[in-house]
Amino acid sequence: MAQALASPPLYDADGRPLGRGGLAFTDEQSVAVLQREGPMLLSANAGSGKTAVLAERFVRAVVEDGCRPGELLAITFTEKAAGELRGRIRTRFMELGEREAARDMDGAWISTIHGFCARVLRSHAVTAGLDPAFVVLDEATARQARTEAFTTALAAFMAPPSGTASPPAAELELVATWGVDRLHDAIATVHDELRSTGHTVPRLPPVPPLDPPAAQAARLRAAFAAVDAERATWRTGLVSLDAAQVALDVIGAALDAAATGGSGAASTADPALASRLRGLKLAKQAKELKTDACAELRGALAAVLQGEVDAEAVVVHRHLDRVLGLYAEAYSGAKRGRSAVDYDDLELLTNDLLRRAPAVAGAYRERFARIMVDEFQDTNPLQLQLLSHLDAGNVFLVGDALQSIYGFRHADVGVFRAQRRRHEALGVAPALATNWRSRPGLLSTINAAFGGLHEDYVPLVAARESDGDGPLVELLLIDDAHDDPERLAAPAAAALQAGMPQARNLTLLAEARAVAARVRALINGDDVAAGEVAVLLRAASDLHVFERALELEGLATLASGGRGFWLRQQVQDLTSYLAALANPMDEPALLGLLASPLVGVSSDALAAIAQAGREQGRGPWALVTHGAEGIGLPPADRAAVTAFAAWFAAERAQAPLLALDQLITRVVQRTGYDLHVLGLSGGRRRLANIHKLERLAAEFELRAGRDVRAFIDHVAAEVDAQAREPDAPVELGDLDAVQLMTIHAAKGLEFGVVVVAGLGRQGQAGVNPILVAGDRVGLRLPRLHAVNADALDYAELKQRAQQAQIEEERRIMHVAFTRAEERLIISGAVTPGKTPPAERAGGAPLTWVGVRIDPLLQERLTPDDPAAAVDRQVGADRLAVAVRLVSPDVVGDPGATADDPAPDPDPDAADAGRDLTEHEQADADAQVPAARERAGLATGGAGDAGDVQLSLTHVEPTAPPAHRSRRTAAGRKAVPAASAAAAVSTPPAPPATLSYSSLSDHAGCGYRYYLRRVLGLPRQEPPPLPAVDGPDGPVVPVPPAGIDPLLRGSLAHALLEGPDPAAATADDVRELASEHDVELTDEEVADLLRLAGAFGSTALGRRVAGATTVRREDGFAFALDDADPGSPLVNGFIDLVAVLADGSWLIVDYKTNRVDDADLTAIVEGDYATQRRIYALAALRAGAPSVEVAYVFLQRADEPVSTTYDAADAPVLTGELITQAAPLLDGVFAVSERPHRDLCAYCPGRGGMCSWPEAMSLRPAPSA
């Protein structure tokens, strides 16, 4: 019998503990490995080997301390980490010859906190008040339950009081002011936050008593008297002092009115005092205004104004707390009805169980000889409470405060810091500072540049030996002048766009191409393999841009993480198939299916089918099954539709007998769709997504039953909720591919070369309008008739929340930078020559990252001097960074080679669902001939494939997001002019309502109106602008930099809806922008504030201020022909309606157009005459004796264009409007006689169904 091998020793000859493979632990690791009695908190730097320490503590607790694996509890952050830890411990036991312990690992308590809680609750379900067969809701089901709960809560909140039929006024006003979506988000957010701090039944803290108004008025009166006495000595002739004199007069008058209640009668306090002082400010530029008395007056004035807001907030708080209670009750009821809990319930109910049942808690304390918690920095107060019930002085906590990056999941780094201070006081808080991952030069630069940003920073100590003096950190700065048409050379613009998806701006394309070129250079230089490179992004929305740039460099890529799964084209195609299978009368789903490669119908054929279906009143499905021959489809399309109708009918007949995943599998195999996607770039990932969809469908069926329609509704809900559903994972195997992922997805991983890209992009800095911290509460009050205001403790709590966001953003960057082993590349867009803005919540990380490297770097670099080397000593560390500026003046095509022609632009790939480019489609056509044959696309019998091509053209019908496809220009054919003229042979019923936009849209081009508004065809994306002649040769126009003009107008109008737009602040602007998921630059904020404040100081603005009634965003509706009861309604909204003292009306329409020195009267007459006519009629029909309609172009607000009408003009205006509406009402949809790019670029008919060739429809707009 062979002699058994000796087990490896646990210690070396010097007594140092040995780990796996006989490697000795360092001194700092040994402390954590050997000191296993009592509590300990281990702070572990990135790459310091904490997992090895955690595993070894577990192993030695068994081998040396006599514990059984079932007596040890280890909590990890993810299921994956739990599995890896379990496997590492089992391997170590086997290495040590502890086979019995290795077998016992199957029963070890190693899991996430949720896994532990579920195990406890299942063992004590009755005691915890649960159904023993309870289930844990997945996130999608929980989301649905939360949505239903809010609907139930809102209905209860708005329910009419007994004996009445109308909702109570106060509740109705709250919902109208907040808006349903905003209220839902606010309540759901504070509900989850309160639960994370241990509130099983979340409620808002009560509002503490407010200062009485009388006391505030008394303070203001005393402060005013002191300053009033001082002002006799003030200088004269200074603007600031003159303004202060006026302000004091207003305060004095308000106080006098308050003393008598405004009526001459004695009064202790006037509730209107604050309203009389609203918007008043006391300047402090002059020395006379810097006295203590003036400071006290400012404070007293602020207290009076804030007191009014807080009093209003008390009422709002009461209503919000009621909604919160109703929502929590409804959500709990929804879960009880399902015998289910959510993940937060697992923690809450376990905490309550252990608190209410001391015997149960005691049993677990006795059971666990050791407790170990990994990633402790990502815990929250509730989880700390839960652990406290198990703590018998034997808890080992390990984590890194600098890797706490899950604030959006309610992780609180303050929990870790407080516990570290407690353990430090006990002398049991060692640290692992040594980093085994990264090269010394890289760590030294991170310490030097960013260490000073963090609280209690422990410098990263290099374990590896230094191997050279060259900088291992690179900073790649992209000049944002790539979006400046005066600086972007034509060859550079063409190179940037060639083969790339559309992006937010050309600067992003430039960054992606520059990053890809740098990665290619590193690989070509044999410094690194592609599989050792990772590109990390702060958010996944730009990931596809960098992915495509790398592919253009000939590099394989593997993208992971993010939330784009449901919008991937292959998922969209197959869910359109399922939706049509469930209901072929679902037009968007059917059209999406026909357009997909599963059927392959061209966009022209789709338009013809949709149009014919409407004209015949039968719908597309009826035509597909019984009438496709009579609508003039091209032969290939007719064959495709005929073949589809046959096999689809057979599949529909079989569908009730088949599982959901089988339905997907069958259509993929029948059509060769799997071969099609494999022939595309990233084909393995696309195919993996198909298999993931099959798995998700099977899981849904197990949970909810075999219901295709329900599954499609589930998919649509996931898309609407922007659910975090990543692409299917793909095993790399032998594939040498650059990996792309978010920074959060990269946590815990390491790569040879890390590129942290997109750091010039603004982040999200939204703060919930309901903030709670302990017993403090703050509200951001949205108001219909006043400027939004911070109430109660909101201002301070918001500042704390924003500071927490700033600190977490720093930690996110630390996590990203410390993933790198050999080299770190940081990239982002900047404005050279300009001082970076100050660091702020939601700001671009590069604004502070660059400053920490070199405060003057951004100002020093120029296109003529684009490179710099930063090399300086900072304390014990050396900061060494190689910097390069990529400027549009010098950049060529960083991605293409001289021998390869540039691919065509791909304007559609920016769509989250867009996977195919034009050249990819051609490649796929060449690679899947068998797919066409298997698809049954035959012109004759089933076995005769003929010469039919499988079209990869897509259409984007007006569909729910879950079904959406898209249109491309591939394969489109010109339609003769006669076809366009005859296309509307049977006019649709006239519209029941008209508006200025519908009339102007029809007037611009009747045919475009018909395609878009009647047929519902989606717009198509225009091709890039053609080059134009410039002084130095052809120049490619680029879109103007900055905010989209339409969004700019929307934000400006939203600001102007307030009663005092001039009082709007930068925070107000940013809050509005955040509601549109947009972050603005400081310049854009200043621009919007200028627009908002421009009107009030004009003569027209002063007239509005003196009006008896002012209504903003005022809706109207009137009959087009007041003599015809069946006449269509004309409706719309007016920016501002003022009723003046003489009874006349003033209508103001704001325009945010950039008009420079244009003729404003000509603009109004040419572009807005119809709108002016409608506005005038709306006022006159409403009883105005006369009305002045004024157009105010905010860029030149003091030059309004006004026209006045009286009652005698109404018949003329009516006749003119009827005449203008007649062609639309008569069903005349003529093609425009003046096509041009501004009119036609997005038209569904451009280049195919329209009679005009694209040479005309894409020409510049002709001069008037």
> Please, which residues have CB within 8 angstroms of residue 156's CB and are 6 or more apart in sequence?
326, 330
Q: Look at residue 214 and tell me whether its pLDDT is greater than 70.
A: yes
Is 583 labeled as ligand-binding? no
User: Are residue 741 and residue 866 in the same domain, yes or no?
Assistant: yes
Q: Look at residue 817 and tell me whether its pLDDT is greater than 90.
A: yes
User: Are residue 649 and residue 582 in the same domain, yes or no?
Assistant: yes
Please tell me the predicted confidence (pLDDT) of residue 1063: 77
What sign results for the dihedral spanned by CA atoms 565, 570, 576, 579?
negative
Residue 2, in any domain of the structure: no
Residue found by looking up tokens 């989880």 in the block:
383
Q: What is the average pLDDT across 1044-1054?
A: 83
422 band by pLDDT with thresholds 50, 70 and 90: very high
Domain that residue 862 falls in: 473-560+732-762+819-886
1035 band by pLDDT with thresholds 50, 70 and 90: low
User: Are residue 690 and residue 663 in the same domain, yes or no?
Assistant: yes
Please tell me the predicted confidence (pLDDT) of residue 195: 93
Helical H segments across 468-554, by residue range = 490-497, 506-524, 543-552
Is 49 labeled as ligand-binding? yes
Q: What gap in Å lies between CA 157 and CA 163, rounded to an integer? A: 16
Q: What gap in Å lies between CA 340 and CA 353, rounded to an integer? A: 17
Helix (H) or strand (E) holding 1203: strand 1201-1206
Q: What is the average pLDDT across 310-325?
A: 95
Of the candidates 647, 541, 596, the residue with the CA atom closest to the CA atom of residue 959: 596
DSSP letter at 839 equals P
Residue 638, in any domain of the structure: yes
Is 287 labeled as ligand-binding? no
> Please, which residues have CB within 8 angstroms of residue 801's CB and are 6 or more apart in sequence?
767, 771, 841
> Please, which residues have CB within 8 angstroms of residue 1103's CB and are 6 or more apart in sequence?
1138, 1140, 1146
Q: Which two tokens stand for residue 900?
A: 């390869």
Residue 1122, in any domain of the structure: yes
Q: Which residue has the higher pLDDT, 639 or 811?
A: 811
Q: Which residue has the higher pLDDT, 520 or 1045?
A: 520
Q: What gap in Å lies between CA 1139 and CA 467, rounded to an integer? A: 79
Percent of the chain's residues with pLDDT above 90: 44
Lowest-pLDDT choice from 41-45, 476-480, 970-974: 970-974
User: Are residue 968 and residue 981 in the same domain, yes or no?
Assistant: no
- For the chain, what is the mean pLDDT? 83
Q: What is the average pLDDT across 1074-1083?
A: 74
> Please, which residues have CB within 8 angstroms of residue 1186's CB and are 6 or more apart in sequence?
1144, 1145, 1204, 1205, 1206, 1207
Q: What is the average pLDDT across 325-338?
A: 94
Please tell me the predicted confidence (pLDDT) of residue 602: 80
Residue 70, in any domain of the structure: yes
At residue 929, the 3 state secondary structure works out as: helix
Neighbours of 212 (CB within 10 A): 12
User: Are residue 696 and residue 825 in the same domain, yes or no?
Assistant: no
Q: How many domains does the chain have?
A: 6
Please tell me the predicted confidence (pLDDT) of residue 911: 35
Residue 275, in any domain of the structure: no
User: Are residue 657 and residue 528 in the same domain, yes or no?
Assistant: no
DSSP letter at 562 equals S
Residue 223 buriedness (CB in 10 A; 0-12 / 13-18 / 19+): buried
Instruction: Give the CATH number of the domain where residue 517 resides.
Output: 3.40.50.300
User: Are residue 751 and residue 857 in the same domain, yes or no?
Assistant: yes
Q: Look at residue 290 and tell me whether its pLDDT is greater than 80.
A: yes
Q: What gap in Å lies between CA 1033 and CA 1029, rounded to an integer? A: 6
- Strand-pair category, 72-76 with 877-886: unpaired
Q: What is the average pLDDT across 551-566?
A: 80
> Please, which residues have CB within 8 angstroms of residue 943's CB and are 6 or more apart in sequence?
none
Bridge partners, residue 886, by sequence: 478
Is 444 labeled as ligand-binding? no
Q: Which residues of 602-628 are buried (b: 16+ CB within 10 A; e: fewer)?
A: bbbbbbbbbbbbbbeeebbbbbbbeeb
Helical H segments across 64-159, by residue range = 79-95, 99-104, 113-123, 139-157
At residue 2, the 3 state secondary structure works out as: coil
User: Are residue 1174 and residue 1188 in the same domain, yes or no?
Assistant: yes
Is 44 labeled as ligand-binding? yes
Q: What is the average pLDDT across 195-205?
A: 92
Please tell me the predicted confidence (pLDDT) of residue 919: 33
Is 763 labeled as ligand-binding? no
Instruction: Give the CATH number of the domain where residue 1185 resides.
Output: 3.90.320.10
User: What would the pLDDT profile of 23-57 be if each residue is shown by its tens digit?
Assistant: 999 999 999 999 999 999 999 999 999 999 999 99
Answer for the pair 356, 329: CB distance below 8 angstroms, yes or no.
no
Please tell me the predicted confidence (pLDDT) of residue 1191: 96
User: Are residue 1023 and residue 1122 in the same domain, yes or no?
Assistant: no
Please tell me the predicted confidence (pLDDT) of residue 271: 64
Q: Look at residue 1085 and tell me whether its pLDDT is greater than 70.
A: yes
Is 1153 labeled as ligand-binding? no
User: Are residue 1126 and residue 1072 in the same domain, yes or no?
Assistant: no
Q: How many helices (H) and strands (E) does the chain have?
A: 47, 29
Q: Look at residue 961 and tell me whether its pLDDT is greater than 50.
A: no
Please tell me the predicted confidence (pLDDT) of residue 714: 85
First to last CA, the chain: 103
User: What would the pLDDT profile of 1207-1249 be if each residue is shown by its tens digit?
Assistant: 999 999 999 999 999 999 988 888 998 899 889 988 988 877 7
Residue 60, in any domain of the structure: yes
At residue 819, the 3 state secondary structure works out as: coil
Q: What gap in Å lies between CA 294 and CA 271, rounded to an integer? A: 24
Phi then psi for residue 293, to 5 deg, are -65, -40
Q: Look at residue 926 and tell me whether its pLDDT is greater than 50.
A: no
Helix (H) or strand (E) holding 73: strand 72-76
User: Are residue 952 and residue 1014 in the same domain, yes or no?
Assistant: no
Instruction: Select the highest-mean-pLDDT range: 162-171, 487-496, 627-636, 785-794.
Output: 785-794
Please tell me the predicted confidence (pLDDT) of residue 627: 66
Residue 141, in any domain of the structure: no
Instruction: Give the CATH number of the domain where residue 590 resides.
Output: 1.10.486.10
Please tell me the predicted confidence (pLDDT) of residue 5: 53
User: What would the pLDDT profile of 640-658 be if each residue is shown by its tens digit?
Assistant: 888 888 899 888 888 888 9
User: Are residue 507 and residue 543 in the same domain, yes or no?
Assistant: yes
Residue 577, in any domain of the structure: yes
Q: What gap in Å lies between CA 839 and CA 823, rounded to an integer? A: 26
Give the CA radius of gyration of the chain: 34
Quick one: angle between helices 569-582 and 587-595, nearest 10?
130
Q: Look at residue 734 and tell me whether its pLDDT is greater than 70.
A: no
User: What would the pLDDT profile of 857-911 be if each residue is shown by its tens digit?
Assistant: 888 888 888 899 999 999 999 999 999 999 886 443 333 333 333 333 333 333 3
Q: Which residues of 292-318 are buried (b: 16+ CB within 10 A; e: fewer)?
A: ebbebbbebbebbbbbbbbebbeebbe
Lowest-pLDDT choice from 230-239, 728-737, 838-847, 1202-1211: 728-737
Is 236 labeled as ligand-binding? no
Residue found by looking up tokens 């780094």 in the block:
413
Q: What is the average pLDDT across 1067-1074?
A: 79
Lowest-pLDDT choice from 257-266, 334-343, 406-415, 507-516: 257-266
| Residues, the chain | 1264
